[in-house]
Amino acid sequence: MKILKTLYVGMAMTAAAVSLTSCQADMDAPALEEPKATMEANTTISELKTAFADKTVMCPMKDEAAQTPYIIHGRVVSSDATGNIYKSIVIQDETAAIALSVNQGSTYTDYRIGQDVVLNVTGLYIGYYNGLQQIGWLGDPYDGQPQLGFMPWSFFLEHSELNGFPNPDVEYVGQNAAWPSENPYCVVTSFGQLPSAGEEFRNMQSQLVEFRNVYFEEGGKETYAPYQESVNRTLKDANGGSIIVRTSGYSNFYNEMIPEGTGNVRGILSYYGDAWQLLLRGLGDVMITEKGQKNDPYTVEEAMEVENQGASGWVKAYIVGSVKAGVNTVTSNADVIFGAEAEMDNNILIAASPDETDWTKCLAVELPQGSAFRESVNLLDNPGVLKKSILVRGNLATFLGMPGVTGNGGTASDVEVEGVTIGGGDTPTPGPEGEIPAGVGTQESPYNVTQIKAATADAAGVWVEGYVVGYAADKTWDSAVFGTTPSDGDNYKNATNVILSMVAPPAANASNSAPIGLKNTGDVRTTLGISKNPSIYGARVKVKGDMKKYFGMMSVRDVTEYVIVSGGGDTPTPPEPPVGDETTIYSSLEASLTAIPSDWTIDNVTLPSGKTELWSWKEYNGKGYLNATGYGATSDGLAYAITPLIDLSGYKSAKVSFRHAAKFQTTIKDLCGLVVRENGSSSWTELTIPTWPTAGAWTFVDSGEMDLTAFAGKKIQVAFKYGCSAAGADQWEINDLKITGTK
């Protein structure tokens, strides 16, 4: 529906009606003239962004000889009607989006959502304001670097033209889909999909996006913002990912309570410093209700309406049947069984009526393998649950070709069935090949791997049981090694994780296993890490850690406690490396960490005025790093992040390396660095870092190796030195510190 066109036509018809009742009834009302741009785009937004990546300059001619300017076009997707978006107009074409920084308010009256705008960029500035690429005018420098500011409104009017009537029909597309040009579009994405570098990163900046199945951390507790104060609110997803929602205390909804519950949230995807943030255009962008909460569950009909829209929650219904064996996609009643004569134990059908016999009015519910839910409720083993009422929580998505409920945790906290105790009675008998039974997350009754992978929310301090079957050689699940023998090129010294499986070797594989992150505390890594203790392979263990996303899936990380149930043998003493072979002496700051290691020391020699710290631990897209910044410093600062004592006794040579990133660089190479000192000394020796990151992006690079042979045979500490001043306070990101040596 072309709402704006209808509005214009309606205005014209009203004017005509008035004229007919006046004394000048013989005169026709003038028709509303549709604006037509005289300029034609010759460059896409993506091409423009790429041509001026990492620059802040006045845009030149595209062809100096022919005096051809850079001309782009795009449809407006932003609105400052509510006051939450300030002096900015965001446009997008079929390749990318970009923010236009203008010194004017209430632009929504003429630049409505869906309005096509043609812009001559030559003569305007294109560049960055604290990481966000946009078009505007030259502003005040930051950290010695030029920054974008607002262009005068008169300049914008001189350089732009409206083209046609607004087309407000928004099309929803996936991040990798073809983006339309004839109407605005909204990119449906997730926190984990947001890029961090390159062309895709530039193109996603300023796009209209929608995150599904998300909730506000402050839901039901806080308003969107205090009066006349801009604040950050946190939007989270079921995997523990999050994004900042930046909200202005000058908006007309600042004092509204943030809704509690799960749903979809839209907005303009902005960027500030080193992180994505979302800008709401108004309350219409927040589509969160309490529907689906346990006190207000979905009906079957309501669940079908939001299928595959990212919704999740509780559904209330009755158990009426199951899908037949061998059926992957239900297409008729012939593919299902209404009644208790089930052929499979991995699903049930639920409906609004206990007597339903029409498959199109049912939901298919996935019963997780090895779970208490499957054991207690599947009709093959429990025919008595037929026609009982059920309250079940999960994702409302297609299952076996039907509207369904998937991703259930499989425990008593995720499902209730009339007259049935989920997981009650005797301890379930392990399945084939010693399969681990489901539990409730305690040491006495730990979760199994299937339950952990199906979880939809973070949880601290849970126990999980499984068989030790391998390790991830790198920081991805694709690098999983099932066994104790390293494959060519992998990092066999990686004891930061272990793979647990539902079943013992050799039946373990990626589908029935998960990576478990081991915290560098006590003897956790030396006992459970296969590279440290190969005899642990095949052992059945219980481990305690935090349930959260790890290597791209729900798992358990930061394990601090363990119990060896069976197998594993004695914990061996790590063998001495052969003379002449290089070995890892010390490693730390792994990207899987969630905090600065507890045995590190932060020495704040001098803090800039108003600062309480310079070093901290940050995490982005599931990867952590040691972070130093003195952003906004008006005076000098100096702080060290120091390792514990490292013993180089018996080593003839040693070297150190790490990975790091720094997008904005002014004084970083002069004031920051890596230093080392001998035990008992108070003075530091600075090392020369061979490779520094390329400015302009948060891309991690290897530092290159630095020689520590002068300290061989001694005990040392290594430290990262961070300095800043009013002339420069760059941000430095560091991880994967490693010291190796040869005896």
Q: What is the DSSP string of 34-65?
A: PP--S----S-HHHHHHHTTT--EE---SBTT
Task: Please state, as a whole number, how many other Cβ atoms lie within 10 Å of the Cβ of residue 393.
Answer: 21
Q: What is the pLDDT of residue 430?
A: 37
CA–CA distance, 512 with 361 (Å, rounded to integer): 33
Q: What is the pLDDT of residue 549?
A: 82
Q: What is the pLDDT of residue 488?
A: 41
Say what the alpha-carbon torsion angle 711, 716, 719, 725 is, to the nearest 10 degrees: -70
CA atoms within a 13 Å half-sphere pointing along the CA-CB vector of 304: 16
Q: Indicate the SS3 state at residue 594.
A: coil
Q: Do 115 and 166 meet the contact criterion of CB atoms below 8 Å apart? A: yes
CA–CA distance, 13 with 375 (Å, rounded to integer): 68
Please indicate, yes or no, whether the overall pTM of this predicted structure exceeds 0.75. no
pLDDT above 90 covers what percent of the chain? 53
From residue 474, how far is each of 3, 92, 494, 610, 702 by CA, in Å?
53, 38, 8, 40, 15
Q: What is the pLDDT of residue 434?
A: 57
At residue 310, φ and ψ (nearest 5 deg) are: 85, 5
CA–CA distance, 689 with 669 (Å, rounded to integer): 9
Sign of torsion over alpha carbons 679, 685, 689, 690: negative
Q: Do 121 and 48 meet the contact criterion of CB atoms below 8 Å apart? A: yes
Q: Do 203 and 271 meet the contact criterion of CB atoms below 8 Å apart? A: no
Q: What is the pLDDT of residue 247?
A: 95
CA–CA distance, 625 with 239 (Å, rounded to integer): 20
Buried b (16+ CB within 10 A) or exposed e, 111-136: bbbbbbbbbbbbebbbbbbebbbbbb
Sign of torsion over alpha carbons 369, 372, 377, 382: positive
Q: Indicate the SS3 state at residue 556.
A: strand
The full length of the chain comes to 743
Q: What is the pLDDT of residue 29?
A: 53
Q: Do 385 and 342 meet the contact criterion of CB atoms below 8 Å apart? A: no
Residue type, 494: N
Low-confidence ranges of the chain (pLDDT < 70): 1-31, 142-144, 238-239, 309-310, 424-434, 475, 485-493, 568-581, 621-622
| Biggest CA-to-CA distance, the chain | 109
